[in-house]
Chains A and B, each alone.
Chain A
């Protein structure tokens, strides 16, 4: 039997799943309070945390909540009292926690969570879709997506750094695609404790810390004479978070040599006529097929979004307006929205509205319920973009790619 025990704190490489890499990041970040309630794929992180605590490799309070709602409430309160916290959920579990999810940002509580992306019921399914995390897009949560186990580890450390910055003090959720990221075991480079300590300062809530020595009221009742100004302060945190992400990524790169580009990553875009844009693990298939299409002389590139909140509109505009056509891949849907497209499609098209030169933007909805994105799907997307360029206009703004159809 090949017995392995995680070595936490030493710089080394290990074969581990995305969930295990997240757990190691949490141990390295010295998280104080964690809560769990079983749901795939989130629970795999907690399984591994439980093992780390049992093995004496992590010192933290792991609380088994009676439901997702309590999970998020517990960490919210612990975080107000000065604890570094972690929680998360997936799919409908995430939805059940919606009330504490909504009240966390306005109280300026830097909870860090993962959303182990899973299709929202019905029908019951555990494959990956991004709608669950997008549910907190508009309420003050910062949201980002990783595409490998390595990046999941990196972005957990980044999340604490950004969320716990007193100028921000907003919760942050990391999206990890169920199965493709959470359960696939890859070789991951684990940083040393010294590196992490250099990057991640201690969480200090200052005067906002709830403590017998510092009696304060959090989450009070107000009327119309107060609320708009309070909302404006949350908005200020969200605005500031963009510069904080940039600064954090810069320092992360100096220490760990990764996360060079803070908001999105460009792949083979230098001379591209058209690019695909997407988030999460679909990058694996898209990158490989972009390479294939490049060999056939098609000038295709790929832009992988990491942070969707804060949304780097200016950078996105500057990047995407260089191309003739942009195809946004959504592993989600927004039923009844304009042109019946996906969520990221609307984000991108809206950002591009004020660009001096606008590319032809189309939308591809695919990979729902954890369906793979195949070579034929990527070829279909590129074909649609080519047709748009040829016609000089977008004939079909939205296409459901890879759907069994007549």
Chain B
């Protein structure tokens, strides 16, 4: 019996088609090897919203009975390969309304692989990826989060490169030859073959990675759902900053958090802030707290990284910085309050990697006009 499963984690809308295509390619390649398969997305992820983490799966087997056996449990419990299309997803994903944070490597089986598209080093990535108690292989393919599933954007060969790497890592599942067969275009075939050489592999031992316990919550039994059980209980009025008398902090849900939908987070240059309140007024997620001295502090647990604050700030002093630049969600206001010189250094360092209003193309992935073309040119992708 040979049954294989592949899971693809990507961000909604702009990587929807790329994820979908990869799941299909796995089945199409398996078909070239005489196998059968199914490709499907996680239904509860949809309607796919921009930037929200979502998943695709491909399950392949030698025959229909074996496939049915595997599909009896629709969403596979273990996968041979997990593919992550955006390295900011490595902090874990939270599905639409399940039970908390799920590590991206959660389903990877012993000696399975996790393929990540990233320019970061393995050590850097492992700061985000949660630990597992079994060994697996971490494979990186150089590149940034690809937009190439969108028809308006030029194909950067991410699809072919991922399939090439997958075949090189697990040739029993998908042979490199089968991958060559499903791509009709020579450039795709070359990209798939090139990825096998470009990819960097490292064994991740048990216990390696981010040791933090992912947050979870218990789903209630039906008897605990009162007549108000299916209604979301309204939140209280809120009050002073951090429970004090001054300032203002709205009450926020401790169950539904938004941080994992984010590829960028806002950072305020408090030294230049004139307290216009625009960020606080315009934030669609009410992610801003008012501090006793009249500044506005982002609660990173409530911020979905939409970039609205940066866009509306008349002083243009809010910068959107890639999420992968941060290890925690500590308040930057408190950092500034404690040591202004240290914060200035921190802010300058991070903002060099981010964008200010006016440079905006979109809130996720490539943010400057022409950056995508530069990227393709730099990597020599034809």
Binds B, one of A53-61, A178-186, A314-322, A330-338: A178-186
* Contact flag A2-B21 (CB < 8 Å), given A179-B43, A183-B43: yes
> At the interface, yes or no: A374 with Cβ under 8 Å from chain B?
yes
**Nearest residue in B to A128 (C-beta to C-beta)?**
B43
> At the interface, yes or no: A222 with Cβ under 8 Å from chain B?
no
CA distance A1 to B223 in the complex (A): 51
> At the interface, yes or no: A390 with Cβ under 8 Å from chain B?
no
> At the interface, yes or no: B381 with Cβ under 8 Å from chain A?
no
> At the interface, yes or no: A138 with Cβ under 8 Å from chain B?
no
* Contact flag A183-B40 (CB < 8 Å), given A1-B21, A123-B230: yes
Chain B residues in 8 Å Cβ range of A180: 74
Partner of B159, one of A2, A127, A285, A370: A2
> At the interface, yes or no: A304 with Cβ under 8 Å from chain B?
no
CA distance A378 to B183 in the complex (A): 42
Distance in Å: Cβ of B279 to nearest Cβ of chain A: 31
> At the interface, yes or no: A3 with Cβ under 8 Å from chain B?
yes
Chain B residues in 8 Å Cβ range of A289: 72
CA distance A15 to B58 in the complex (A): 12
**Nearest residue in B to A1 (C-beta to C-beta)?**
B155
State whether B71 touches A185 (Cβ < 8 A). Answer: no
CA distance A10 to B27 in the complex (A): 22
Chain A residues in 8 Å Cβ range of B71: 284-285, 288
State whether A403 touches B24 (Cβ < 8 A). Answer: no
Distance in Å: Cβ of B154 to nearest Cβ of chain A: 11
Partner of B223, one of A127, A178, A186, A406: A406
State whether A3 touches B184 (Cβ < 8 A). Answer: yes
> At the interface, yes or no: A380 with Cβ under 8 Å from chain B?
no
Binary contact readout B239-274 vs A (1 if CB under 8 angstroms, 0 otherwise): 000000000000000000000000000000000000
State whether B47 touches A185 (Cβ < 8 A). Answer: no
Chain A residues in 8 Å Cβ range of B25: 2
Chain A residues in 8 Å Cβ range of B24: 2, 15, 185
CA distance A377 to B220 in the complex (A): 19
State whether A1 touches B188 (Cβ < 8 A). Answer: yes
> At the interface, yes or no: A356 with Cβ under 8 Å from chain B?
no
Distance in Å: Cβ of B230 to nearest Cβ of chain A: 5
Chain B residues in 8 Å Cβ range of A207: none
CA distance A126 to B47 in the complex (A): 10
Chain A residues in 8 Å Cβ range of B39: 15, 184-185
State whether B73 touches A374 (Cβ < 8 A). Answer: yes
State whether A372 touches B74 (Cβ < 8 A). Answer: yes
Chain B residues in 8 Å Cβ range of A126: 43-44, 46
Distance in Å: Cβ of B377 to nearest Cβ of chain A: 19
> At the interface, yes or no: A122 with Cβ under 8 Å from chain B?
yes
CA distance A338 to B321 in the complex (A): 61
CA distance A374 to B220 in the complex (A): 19
CA distance A122 to B43 in the complex (A): 18
Chain B residues in 8 Å Cβ range of A127: 43-44
CB-CB contacts below 8 Å: B48-84 with A: 65, 68-69, 71-75
CA distance A291 to B28 in the complex (A): 28
* Contact flag A1-B220 (CB < 8 Å), given A15-B28, A375-B72: no
**Nearest residue in B to A281 (C-beta to C-beta)?**
B74
* Contact flag A372-B75 (CB < 8 Å), given A1-B21, A185-B27, A404-B222: yes
State whether A284 touches B21 (Cβ < 8 A). Answer: no
**Nearest residue in B to A370 (C-beta to C-beta)?**
B43
Binary contact readout A63-85 vs B (1 if CB under 8 angstroms, 0 otherwise): 00000000000000000000000
Partner of B220, one of A179, A187, A404: A404
**Nearest residue in B to A289 (C-beta to C-beta)?**
B72
**Nearest residue in A to B31 (C-beta to C-beta)?**
A187
Distance in Å: Cβ of A295 to nearest Cβ of chain B: 12
Partner of B221, one of A3, A17, A284, A404: A404
State whether A284 touches B68 (Cβ < 8 A). Answer: yes
State whether A405 touches B43 (Cβ < 8 A). Answer: no
CA distance A51 to B199 in the complex (A): 37
CA distance A123 to B39 in the complex (A): 29
CA distance A372 to B44 in the complex (A): 12
Distance in Å: Cβ of A98 to nearest Cβ of chain B: 24
User: Can you list the 6 inter-chain pairs with the closest CB atoms, starting with the nearest?
Assistant: A179-B43, A288-B72, A184-B40, A185-B39, A285-B72, A404-B221
Residue contacts A-B, CB under 8 angstroms, 13 given: A2-B159, A15-B28, A15-B39, A123-B230, A185-B24, A185-B39, A285-B71, A287-B68, A288-B69, A291-B69, A370-B44, A404-B221, A405-B223
Chain B residues proximal to chain A, CB less than 8 Å:
21, 23-25, 27-28, 31, 36-41, 43-44, 46-47, 65, 68-69, 71-75, 148, 155, 159-160, 182-185, 188, 219-223, 230
A-B contacts besides A2-B188, A405-B222, 13 pairs, CB < 8 Å: A1-B185, A122-B230, A123-B230, A126-B46, A185-B23, A185-B38, A185-B39, A185-B40, A291-B69, A372-B73, A404-B219, A405-B221, A406-B223
